[in-house]
Structure 1
Amino acid sequence: MSHRLAILDDYQGVAYDYAPWDQLAVHGIGVTVFGEPFQDEESLIQALRGFSIVVAMRERTAFNAARLHQLPRLKLLVTTGMANSSIDIEAARELGITVCGTGGSPAAAPEMTWALLLAAARNLQFEGNAMRAGRLQSTVGFELSGKTLGVLGLGKIGSKVAGYARAFGMDVIAWSPNLREETAAAAGVRRVSKDALFREADVVSVHVRLSERSHGVVGEEELRLLGPDGILVNTARGPLVDGDALLRGLNEGWLGGAALDVYDVEPLPADHPLLSAPRTVLTPHLGYVTAESYARFYGEAFEDVQAWAQGKPLRVI
């Protein structure tokens, strides 16, 4: 084989269910699937040093400039989705590495957001565990109808979540740095200031894109405004929220609760303090993990590799 392809972080062992990877043999490409995250930098570099093609599943494995420089054979890096904050695109370009992306499901992340929001409102994770331990009805949840949802970032995902909220009879307010009145009105929501969003909302759902400017956009000040009855939902990216402030709010009781699918470090370590924090609903970054999403991710990643092998790369980032 003239090229070796690594498919990374196939935790569920399903990569071959969604794309005919063996067909790449006609292009001289041999495929290896990695089903576990790399434990450290050295093991990652040693494992991938001989590969010229890598298919990465979202941000599960980062490719910063330092890592890319240690992978001299790498020529094609495919990420699922058309944006990946854990890949240094400029460094890849300087090293002559082509970076390609894929489409994604427009429904997966908004539906996961709503699942977390409902679970937090009715304490489903806590109550389910309590029932298995022989206890019944330990808490009292709340109804969404008549409550206010604050949407932080009214893009494609945020707009869908706002639509779900209206269907549940919620008032919806929104803020992002560049949100216009007419954009908010078109989505059927009311634009407010950032402080007003956290002060007025019963639940805040985070949907801004991670960047240097948005890192820590939700800090202690915002969480205190949300208050002891407020719920924070984050299905976007972990570093958007100040993790230390979030933990303090939960443990000290000045934040009502948190429903999280994303974290500063993923996979979340077994000894991470969030795992023992009260009033939480925690899931292991399932926002994009659906059959429909994987069909597009892996299917289009296969197309990207095939097109690159034919000298006609697709969906170059």
Structure 2
Amino acid sequence: MSRKLKILVIGDAMILGSEFKQAAEKYLSNFIGEVKVGDWETDWQKLQNRRLEVEKKGPEIEEVDALIQSEGKDAELLAGLFVPISSKVFDAMPKLRIVGVSRAGLENVNVKEATKRGILVFNIEGRNAEAVSDFTVGLMLAECRNIARAHYSIKNGGWRKEFSNSDWVPELKGKKVGLVGFGYIGRLVAQKLSGFGVTRLVYDPFVDEETIRGAGCIPVDKETLFKESDFISLHARLSESTKNLVGEKEISLMKPTAYLINTARAGLVDENALLAALREKRIAGAGLDVFNFEPLKPDSEFLKLDNVTLTTHIAGTTKEALTRSPEILMEDISKFLSGQKPRFIINREVLEMPEFKNWLAGVQQ
């Protein structure tokens, strides 16, 4: 009979700890003996501010959550969404062996330290891919067709018909859409755009050309994509190598009638370079769901521009994206503990560590 585990699940304003508990009880009932539940940050706006800081600076900037301090000493599994999982957390949880976050991003987990200590890390991919890809196409249309600006005009007593792009308001058919990044979300965007009759260009040095062509897209280098595209949509992950991936040079290559869409990470774009291009109307416009500072400050230059559509970091926020993610995580952990093949292990080298092997054998026996 397998040894039962004590686990901690820590939710937040986006996904409550109670939802993680339900998922754990559904998929891990054969392995857990005790579940302790908490919520890291229950205020929605504070959560947005705190998680953004963690994404910029890493989990070590936050103090250890109260539930971890009080209940973590003998817990072996920790799961959540945005709760910071730092070296201080590992210090407070000496028996910890599995960490899981129900998101693709790992900015809130010190993976390097987890690996060093023999702690297996799970994330999930694709939980909000449908949501973000839907939103991307919507934001593209909203910006180029002035949907939000017309709505704002009517709500404020106007009936606006003239816009900064009135001389070249485009249809999508026949246009070139450049996708920077061809992971799961980028591929879904390409798929959803296929019905619009666009040519889809892709720049992703980590994806082979055969895969890109197999999806009906054309692989190109970055310079070609920025020169030829009528719309450029960003779907790369943020790392040291991709920070300011879109800078003054790339923007200078864009057509004056082209649009930049970012539903990925703010750090992919040099905001100052983008602001200058929009201000000087060197590009037609931009649709932005992510920003270096959220919420935008009252004096943000973006608020003064008429050729940008701004949304409140909501591209991935749908009912389905939120409710399914704890279940995807717990199901994958359950597969692993049951000896099946999991999908989302990040640091597989931990599986070869003798201490982890011994722990796993004790759980599975």
* Cα gap change, 1:164 to 1:220, in 2 (>3 Å): same
Q: 2:42 aligns with which of 35, 39, 44?
A: 35
Q: TM-score, normalised by structure 1?
A: 0.80
* Cα gap change, 1:305 to 1:6, in 2 (>3 Å): farther
- Matches of 1:216 and 1:183 in 2, distance apart? 26
Runs of 5+ consecutive residues of structure 2 not aligned to the other structure: 1-5, 55-59, 347-365
Residue 72 of structure 1 pairs with residue 125 of structure 2 = no
Partner of 1:276: 303
Shift, 1:233, TM fit = 0.8
Contact 1:247/1:277 (8 A) holds in 2: no
Q: 2:175 aligns with which of 147, 156, 160?
A: 147
Partner of 1:110: 133
Identical-pair percentage: 26
Bigger radius of gyration? 2
Residues paired across the two proteins, number? 309
Contact 1:158/1:207 (8 A) holds in 2: yes
Q: Partner amino acid for 2:245?
A: V
CA offsets, 1:190-236, max 9 Å, x none?
22221111111111011222222222211111112114321111122
Partner of 1:300: 328
Runs of 5+ consecutive residues of structure 1 not aligned to the other structure: none
- Matches of 2:269 and 2:318 in 1, distance apart? 25
- Matches of 2:296 and 2:341 in 1, distance apart? 37
Partner of 2:9: 5
Contact 2:267/2:292 (8 A) holds in 1: yes
- Matches of 1:43 and 1:174 in 2, distance apart? 36
Partner of 2:57: none
Q: 1:221 aligns with which of 233, 249, 256?
A: 249
Partner of 1:232: 260
Q: Which moved more, 1:159-168 or 1:73-82?
A: 73-82
Contact 1:3/1:29 (8 A) holds in 2: yes
Partner of 1:100: 122
C-alpha RMSD of the superposition: 3.5
- Matches of 2:325 and 2:150 in 1, distance apart? 34
Map residues 44-83 of structure 1 onto 2, 5 A cutoff: 44-45=62-63, 47-48=65-66, 50=69, 52=72, 55-57=79-81, 63=85, 67-69=86-88, 72-74=91-93, 75=96, 76-83=98-105
Contact 2:18/2:37 (8 A) holds in 1: no
- Matches of 2:341 and 2:288 in 1, distance apart? 36
Q: Which moved more, 1:162-171 or 1:143-152?
A: 162-171
Shift, 1:61, TM fit = 5.8
Partner of 1:20: 22
- Give the secondary structure class of the aligned counterpart of 1:297: helix
Partner of 2:153: 130
CA offsets, 1:90-138, max 9 Å, x none?
1122245442223534422211211111111212222211211111134
- Matches of 1:73 and 1:310 in 2, distance apart? 27
Shift, 1:68, TM fit = 2.8
Q: TM-score, normalised by structure 2?
A: 0.71
Q: Partner amino acid for 2:33?
A: H
Richer in helix (by share): 2
Contact 1:198/1:225 (8 A) holds in 2: yes
